[in-house]
């Protein structure tokens, strides 16, 4: 049987597996068990999952693991954004937007976490685009 290797998310040093390491296995079992806790409200995770027309029913295990995976992804994204930011006192939206828009693996979040642009700059870019189309 082939052993699957987890994909590494930038800035996330999550669960490192080593031979004979019971600490990492017990950490994983604690996180993956349905009795473990998550920071995200599972009722909202379930609502989001049920919003997909392909989903008819959701098991408790699938719900918990999806919630935990989402929580770990958010933590990894925040950690990586913080590491890339210049301000080490706080994490700002612009830090998240910069990482999301610069990392190809996070392309699916471009519409959800766009770079902020001032209205006057956007209107200017629209005028410039119209002017270039007329020429």
User: CA torsion, points 82, 69, 24, 61, in degrees to nearest 10?
Assistant: 160
**83 Cβ neighbours under 8 A, 6+ residues apart:** 11
Q: Cα dihedral angle (88, 102, 107, 46), rounded to 10 degrees?
A: 0
Residue 25 has a pLDDT of 45
pLDDT computed for residue 36 by the predictor: 60
Burial of 122 (0-12, 13-18, 19+ CB in 10 A): exposed
pLDDT score at 131: 86
33-91 tens-digit pLDDT: 445 677 889 999 999 999 999 998 999 999 999 999 999 999 999 999 999 988 889 99
pLDDT at residue 50, as a whole number: 94
pLDDT tens digit sequence for 87-114: 889 999 999 999 999 999 999 999 999 8
What domains can you pick out in the chain, each with its CATH number? 26-84 (1.10.20.10), 89-135 (no CATH)
Compute and round to an integer the Cα radius of gyration of the chain. Answer: 20
State the DSSP string of 49-81.
HHTSTT-----HHHHHHHHHHHHHHHHHHHHHH
What pLDDT score was predicted for residue 35?
52
13: confidence class by pLDDT, cuts 50, 70, 90: very low
93, 110, 40, 37: which is closest to 70 by C-alpha?
40
More confident residue, 118 or 38: 118
The Cα 38–Cα 48 span in angstroms is: 16
């Amino acid at each position: 049987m082939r052993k699957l290797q987890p994909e590494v998310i930038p800035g996330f040093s999550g669960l490192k597996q080593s031979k004979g390491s019971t600490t990492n296995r017990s950490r994983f079992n604690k996180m993956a068990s349905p009795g473990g806790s998550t920071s995200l409200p599972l009722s909202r995770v379930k609502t989001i999952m049920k919003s997909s027309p392909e989903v008819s029913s959701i098991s408790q295990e699938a719900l918990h693991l999806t919630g935990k995976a989402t929580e770990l992804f958010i933590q990894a994204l925040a950690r990586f954004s913080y590491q890339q930011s210049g301000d080490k006192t706080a994490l700002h939206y612009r830090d998240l937007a910069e990482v999301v828009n610069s990392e190809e693996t996070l392309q699916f979040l471009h519409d959800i976490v766009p770079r902020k642009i001032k209205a006057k700059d956007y209107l200017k870019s629209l005028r410039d685009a119209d002017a270039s189309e007329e020429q």
